[in-house]
Amino acid sequence: MSKKINKIGVLTSGGDAPGMNAAIRAVVRACSYYHLECVGVYRGYQGLIEGDFEKLDARSVRNVINRGGTFLKSTRSLEFKTKEGRKKAHDKLTEAGVDALVVIGGDGTFTGGVFFSDEFNFPIVGIPATIDNDINGTDYTLGYDTALNTVVEAIDKIRDTASSHNRLFLVEVMGRDAGDIALNSGIGAGAEEILIPEEDAGVERMLESLKKSKAAGKTSSIIVVAEGEKSGKNIFQLAEFIHEQDESYDIRVSVLGHIQRGGSPSCFDRVLASKLGVGAVEAIMDGKTKVMIGLHHQNVVRVPLETAIKGEPKVDKELRRVADITSV
């Protein structure tokens, strides 16, 4: 029989993502609703090791639903990757009387959570939060929708210059090894071509698309390049490569960078965060551990953390088809 839960800890770890604050809020408010104590852990797993805790109640999370970043702060802790680090973290949790932990983050966060839960038989529930949308078993991760809107807004602005000066713009977006941000924002912003890590034929297809665009009378073009795409060239080398093939192009490069991680979360991310936060507390109350709370076909689901971190690179073929048709 699982242990009775009285106190739940919550932390954010890895790269920050818009919606993390809304998720913390939902966890804290769900604890309050179910008469459980809640403890915030600052600076992710590093704060867990150092016992950097603070009691949170329903009023502690006022005015945070609309804020980007994470008020609990975040780190990528190297010490937590060691057994000694995890032992210190367990000691601190025991001292503070914390019975279970909600970890909000991406695959690194979940991997740490699995190790910790296995070693100390400690209940851990994950909430997927990363702009990359690269977690298995959930249709969306927190922050992804907001990042997409940020990227589309930025490319809309770039398009003004591209079109005024008849230029070709290469725009680099984040996503680590996943092309979700690139593919979706590329369609949303009307890009002529999209390079993603999951496809090898990217560069050849890009040159082909550019030729076709020219032949079709287009005077400016936008190519969205995922940071992890596999041409072996960085975005500036790609620009040079295109120029070597056709010197008539007036090419500019724009690397969007960390603006994609910031800003007020979209309504979608706030609602998702609220559903997942409540779902996480309810999963702990049901005696679940080592599960991620995700969203699949509009339903809140519980997915084993091991499954969540086993994502295989995959391309949404329908999205690729739509991108090809709409960029003619």
Q: Which residues are annotated as a binding site for Mg(2+)?
A: 107
Q: Is residue 154 within 8 Å of 318, Cβ to Cβ?
A: no
Report whether 224 contacts 197 (CB < 8 A). Answer: no
Site string for ligand F6P, 100-139 (x = CB under 6 A): ------x-----------------------xxx-------
Are 89 and 116 spatial neighbours (Cβ–Cβ below 8 Å)? yes
Minimum distance, C-beta of residue 106 to ligand F6P, in the bound complex (Å): 6
Q: Does 70 bind ligand F6P (CB under 6 A)?
A: no
Residue among 176, 233, 302, 320 that touches ligand F6P (CB under 6 A): 176
Annotated binding-site residue numbers: 15, 25-29, 76-77, 106-109, 130-132, 159, 167, 174-176, 190-192, 218-220, 227, 252, 258-261
Structure tokens, 287:
């005696």
**Of 261, 270, 275, 288, which one interacts with ligand F6P (CB under 6 A)?**
261
CB of 17 to ligand F6P, least distance (A): 7
Query: For residue 79, how many other CB atoms are within 10 A of its CB?
Result: 16
C-beta of 108 vs 277, nearer to ligand F6P: 108
Q: Which is nearer to ligand F6P, 182 or 276 (CB)?
A: 182
State yes or no: residue 269 binds ligand F6P (CB under 6 A): no
Residue pair 269/141 in contact by the 8 Å Cβ criterion: no
Q: Which is nearer to ligand F6P, 88 or 176 (CB)?
A: 176
Q: How many residues bind ligand F6P (CB under 6 A)?
A: 10
Three-state secondary structure of 233-274: CCHHHHHHHHHHHCCCCCEEEEECHHHHHCCCCCHHHHHHHH
Residue among 16, 132, 145, 269 flagged as catalytic: 132
Q: Contact with ligand F6P (CB under 6 A): which of 175, 202, 265, 279?
A: 175
Helices (H), the chain: 20-33, 44-50, 83-96, 107-120, 144-164, 180-188, 202-215, 235-245, 267-285, 305-308, 317-326
Q: How far apart are CA 295 and CA 304, in angstroms?
A: 13
Pairing of strands 7-12, 100-105: parallel
Q: Which of 46, 47, 110, 117 is nearest to 77 (CA)?
A: 46
Residue 327 in contact with ligand F6P, rule: CB under 6 A? no
The question of whether 132 is a catalytic residue gets the answer yes
Active-site residue list: 132
Interface residues with ligand F6P (CB under 6 A)?
15, 106, 130-132, 174-176, 227, 261
